[in-house]
Amino acid sequence: MTLLLKREFDFVGKRRAAAIASGLLVVISLISLLFNSLQFGLDFTSGTSVRLAYAEAVDIPQLNSTLQANGYDNALVVTFGSERDIRIILPVDEEIAIGEQSAQAVIVGEQITNLLREESGSEIELLGSDYVSAKVGEELAEQGGIGMLVALGIIMIYISVRFQFKFAVGAVAALAHDVIITLGVFSLFRIEFDLNVLAALLAVIGYSLNDTIVVSDRIRENFRRMRKGSPAEMVNISLNQTLSRTMITSFTTLLVLVTMLLVAGDVIRGFAFALTIGVVIGTYSSIYVASSVILYMKITREDLMIPLKEGEELDGVP
């Protein structure tokens, strides 16, 4: 990896191809979101959650077969905490009053527990059986969406003040690019979208923004320090100078996320998967999307020069 990072790559020369690839990914993601939508989890839809504790590790495929054979065709089985603890999610009839749904959830939990005890002969403890309303999830999703938009607005103001408005447009474009493609992957492959994934999207924004600011800071420094070279050449030099930091940070982050994907249970797997996609796409966007936008907006050396205070040019005159 060291030899690879010491090479000089022509990132800017490939920006048109990268723009086409990004455009295709964004369009595919938007089309999938339009027609497939997202497969919302129990956090966003009503359902019954039955939590069970087995004395030994659970065979999830066998458990699914048992439930389907006994009329629970739409049951979703996930592990939480350990391989012995499971949660069974069942849809409910929305026409039943909420009070009756809660009582029905208790009955369903006892029925499933007795059924699985008889079928498997295992020692099973019913930890709880609850009705989960979609109202809380809808409110959190709405607040999360508003929070995401507010965050993007504040980010744009912050980068405009710290760097320049063209950098702010590039940063927000990169963040929108990352979020849309991550959502598109979940929509296209019909992966469950719950509040953990929503939290991961907010984390993706923070990760991608941090990477973009590091690159932008180096671009600004080189624009002020280097006396020769076109804007494209200075941006390319800056990207190569920050490449080792970007790749090492992304690699170490991915090591943790891949471990979570392999070891963690189903409850945290969506969070880890969303972050994995976000880190990969965020690394790509900080190199190609954000930097390409400022080049398309005709960034110049004058845009980044430190403004002189009035009379400062005369300070050295005797």
Using the predicted structure, report yes or no on whether residue 148 has a pLDDT greater than 80: no
Read off the tokens for 306. 């430190």
Among 113-127, 135-149, 279-293, top mean pLDDT goes to 279-293
Provide the pLDDT for residue 94.
Answer: 58
What is the rounded average pLDDT of the residues 73-83?
Answer: 73
Provide the pLDDT for residue 119.
Answer: 80
Domain ranges of the chain: 2-39+136-304, 47-132
Q: How far is the CA of 111 from the CAs of 65, 129, 130, 259, 313, in angstroms?
A: 16, 11, 13, 36, 85
Using the predicted structure, report yes or no on whether residue 97 has a pLDDT greater than 70: no
pTM: 0.74
Residue with tokens 């455009």: 23
Residues near 129 by beta carbon (within 8 Å), at least 6 away in sequence? 48, 49, 50, 51, 105, 106, 108, 109, 110
Same fold, 2-39+136-304 and 47-132: no
Using the predicted structure, report yes or no on whether residue 239 has a pLDDT greater than 70: yes
- Note the pLDDT tens digit of each residue in 257-293: 988 888 776 668 888 899 999 999 989 998 899 888 8
- Is 1.10.150.20 the CATH classification of the domain at 47-132? no
Q: How far apart are CA 91 and CA 131, in angstroms?
A: 10
φ and ψ at residue 74, rounded to 5 degrees: -100, 15
- CATH number assigned to the domain with residue range 2-39+136-304, chosen from the 4 options 2.40.260.10, 3.40.50.970, 1.20.1640.10, 3.40.50.720: 1.20.1640.10
